[in-house]
């Protein structure tokens, strides 16, 4: 098969048994370093993606993809019309009204603040899968007029409350009496406990029947808003804009990216900075390519001089060492990608095997609410890591290749 001269010589130098074993060792270390760097990058990015997906799923297990509220922040009285119009959007697959307010919960001597949300049990499962997070009890227990309440796991623990106990709910609405204004309160029976795995909800949210809370707040037929579920949560921003235009500014439409913008921006920034720091493993390994090629240029000065004497151009000589360094980078990157992808796809099994082998536990489920290390491999991350690794390896070949380019035959052969 025909190869250009510089490619043929560069590949032959790569395959040839070198007399200088130290150069061969440095070349092997360069390849190994790049391989390890690529493996670490792919696995760490996959694990970070897995954690981000796990957190996002847990948040959206209780939060909606989009919310419709009154522009003035008050109650929505014509919410049924807005509900019907929202359902007409092709990407909306679920919609449910709700009533919510901040409240104070009391059980015995224990007091805790929480967001109390009134829901309709026939529509709420269309928006969030609360049933999958119920530890005890059922969402169907929230029958209108029953004045039952479902608490988050940590909230129930803080109140020392369990199923069957009575919890007093105080809301920030006041009733005028001869003795002065007193807050409205009502005793609810704990009928269930849910466990999402996110402190924001397990510690700070309670659920009751929508009509019970509306009656306590004296809202009549009004609701606080409408929660929506979409067929693609990543289209939430676009759908929110389309619905806002459809409502002609009469209602305010927000999505989950607005409600949790800071949190997910922090996760994205953390992933970006972690990727940059770990990429320095590849950069350091690539510096070994410089050392390898510099020593090889010195070792091959006579060969370079002879090639130039026989008519090889300086550019061809330069390309010989670019090819050799690029081969080292390509091989290291390719092996790293293959091993990194295999490890990222099986990281849960590998971590489980290590835990059982050394009798250790890396993730305590009582602290992190998960028992296994999550992994979510993104092929765009793999391509970005591979391209960055190979480009870095290629750039490291330029200085040694330039030294070979500047080699003078007379100087190189003077002492041969």
Using DSSP's 3-state secondary structure scheme, residue 280 falls into helix
Q: Provide the CA 306 distance to its chain's centre, in angstroms.
A: 56
> In whole angstroms, what is the distance from residue 170 CA to residue 106 CA?
8
Using DSSP's 3-state secondary structure scheme, residue 72 falls into coil
**How far is residue 63 from each of residues 255, 271, 383, measured CA to CA in Å?**
10, 24, 33
Per-position pLDDT tens, the chain of length 416: 445 756 656 566 565 555 556 556 777 777 888 888 888 888 888 888 888 787 777 776 677 888 888 877 677 888 888 888 888 889 998 889 999 888 899 998 899 988 999 998 888 888 887 777 888 888 888 888 889 999 988 899 999 998 989 999 988 876 655 655 667 888 999 999 998 877 778 888 899 999 999 888 888 888 888 999 888 877 888 888 888 888 887 888 888 877 767 777 777 787 788 878 878 878 887 777 777 777 777 766 766 676 666 667 777 777 777 877 888 888 888 999 999 999 888 887 877 777 777 777 666 555 555 656 788 888 888 898 888 888 888 888 887 878 776 666 656 556 55
The dihedral region occupied by 146, where left means phi > 0, alpha psi between -120 and 50, and beta the remainder, is alpha
For residue 263, give both structure tokens: 């949190």
Using DSSP's 3-state secondary structure scheme, residue 5 falls into helix
> In whole angstroms, what is the distance from residue 347 CA to residue 357 CA?
15
Stated pTM of the model: 0.69
Closest CA to 33 of 378, 280, 277, 276: 280
> In whole angstroms, what is the distance from residue 319 CA to residue 307 CA?
13
For residue 164, give both structure tokens: 């069957």
CA angle 69, 74, 75 (to 5 degrees): 75
Question: DSSP for 159-191?
Answer: HT--TT-EEEEEEEEEEEETTEEEEEEEEEEEE
What's the confidence (pLDDT) of residue 159? 92
What's the confidence (pLDDT) of residue 116? 92
Q: Tell how strand 205-209 and strand 148-152 pair up.
A: antiparallel
> In whole angstroms, what is the distance from residue 375 CA to residue 340 CA?
12
Residues 336, 341, 346, 347, Cα dihedral to 10°? 60
Where are any strands of DSSP class E within 231-375? Answer: 251-255
> In whole angstroms, what is the distance from residue 119 CA to residue 346 CA?
40
Query: What is residue 17's DSSP assignment?
Result: P
What's the confidence (pLDDT) of residue 189? 92
Using DSSP's 3-state secondary structure scheme, residue 63 falls into coil
φ and ψ at residue 193, rounded to 5 degrees = -135, 130
> In whole angstroms, what is the distance from residue 48 CA to residue 375 CA?
7
């Amino acid at each position: 098969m025909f190869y250009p001269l510089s490619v043929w010589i560069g590949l032959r130098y790569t395959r040839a048994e070198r007399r200088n074993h130290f150069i061969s060792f440095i070349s092997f270390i360069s390849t190994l370093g790049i391989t390890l760097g690529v493996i670490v990058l792919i696995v760490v990015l996959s694990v970070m993606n897995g954690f981000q997906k796990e957190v996002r799923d847990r948040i959206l297990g209780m939060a909606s993809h989009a919310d419709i509220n009154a522009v003035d922040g008050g109650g929505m009285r014509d919410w049924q019309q807005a509900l019907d119009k929202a359902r007409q959007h092709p990407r909306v697959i679920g919609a449910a009204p709700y009533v919510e307010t901040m409240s104070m919960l009391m059980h015995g001597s224990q007091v805790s603040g929480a967001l109390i949300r009134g829901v309709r049990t026939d529509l709420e499962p269309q928006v969030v899968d609360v049933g999958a997070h119920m530890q005890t009890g059922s969402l169907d227990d929230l029958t209108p007029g029953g004045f039952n309440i479902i608490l988050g796991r940590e909230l129930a623990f803080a109140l020392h409350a369990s199923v069957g106990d009575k919890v007093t709910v105080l809301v920030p609405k006041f009733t005028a009496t001869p003795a002065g204004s007193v807050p409205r309160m009502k005793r609810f029976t704990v009928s269930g406990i849910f466990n999402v795995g996110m402190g924001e909800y397990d510690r700070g949210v309670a659920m009751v029947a929508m009509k019970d809370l509306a009656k306590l707040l004296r809202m009549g037929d009004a609701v606080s808003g409408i929660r929506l579920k979409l067929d693609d949560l990543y289209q939430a921003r676009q759908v929110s804009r389309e619905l806002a235009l459809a409502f002609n500014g009469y209602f305010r439409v927000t999505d989950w990216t607005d409600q949790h913008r800071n949190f997910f921006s922090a996760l994205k920034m953390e992933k970006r900075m972690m990727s940059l720091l770990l990429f320095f493993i590849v950069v350091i390994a690539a510096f070994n390519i410089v050392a390898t090629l510099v020593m090889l240029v010195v070792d091959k000065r006579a060969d370079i001089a002879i090639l130039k004497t026989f008519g090889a151009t300086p550019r061809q000589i330069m390309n010989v060492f670019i090819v050799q360094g690029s081969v080292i980078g390509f091989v290291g990157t390719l092996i790293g990608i293959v091993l990194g992808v295999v490890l990222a796809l099986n990281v849960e099994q590998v971590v489980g095997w290590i835990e059982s082998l050394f009798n250790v536990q890396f993730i305590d489920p009582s602290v992190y609410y998960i028992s296994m290390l999550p992994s979510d491999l993104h092929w765009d991350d793999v391509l970005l890591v591979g391209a960055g690794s190979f480009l870095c390896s290629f750039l490291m070949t330029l200085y040694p290749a330039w030294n070979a380019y500047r080699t003078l035959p007379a100087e190189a052969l003077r002492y041969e």
